[in-house]
Amino acid sequence: MADLSGRRIAVLATDGVEQVELTEPVRALKQARAEVVVVAPHDGEIQGMNHDEKGDKITVDDTLDNVSPDQFDALVLPGGVANPDKLRTLPEAVAFVRHFVDADKPIAAICHGPWTLIEAGGVSGKRMTSWPSLKTDLRNAGAHWEDNKVLVDGKLVTSRKPDDLPDFEREMLNLFEKTAHRRAA
């Protein structure tokens, strides 16, 4: 099992997040002893979704205007259609993601999550997978899209959908353990 103690991981999400694509990676990261922070554009709670049906409300740990990406060692971008579509229109969310791209920090994105990565300039030249409807968007942004359960390219791991979560989590934990720097105790 991966040991991510000493690592602080941001999970960037907002209303419309695919619930299981947030809750399951968070559970896996916490089991690996990472400090996980759900970051959103607003405080309180965000609305989770189970595909197109409302799911649970998810507690926000901190807000974009209250954190700096420098405080984190890695980033998780869950999907859901509305979540990344809203995030990619917010300059502060795009700047947050762009920091991880520019600083070459590890990023894990699933389903529609790569939409925000496109906006942050983080997909060109990368081998990636996603929900199938993003194939053209990713290719137009310079990514090499493939229909696989999970793909790792450098410090980026991507996956297609909730059914792929076991593979996504395994590769995310492996990538974060190898490439996310430990914080000084």
* Domain CATH number, residue 65: 3.40.50.880
Answer yes or no: is 96 within a domain: yes
51 given a catalytic annotation? no
Considering only CA atoms, which of 64, 74, 8 is closest in space to residue 39?
64
112 given a catalytic annotation? yes
Answer yes or no: is 15 within a domain: yes
Helices 19-31 and 165-179: crossing angle, nearest 10°? 50
Name the pTM for this structure.
0.96
Tell me the residue range of the domain where 117 lies.
8-179
Total count of domains within the chain: 1
H or E stretch at 83? helix 82-87
Choosing from 99, 112, 144, 181, the catalytic residue is 112
Choosing from 42, 51, 99, 111, the catalytic residue is 111
pLDDT, tens digit, 9 for 90 and up, residues 83-139: 999 999 999 999 999 999 999 999 999 999 999 999 999 999 999 999 999 999 999
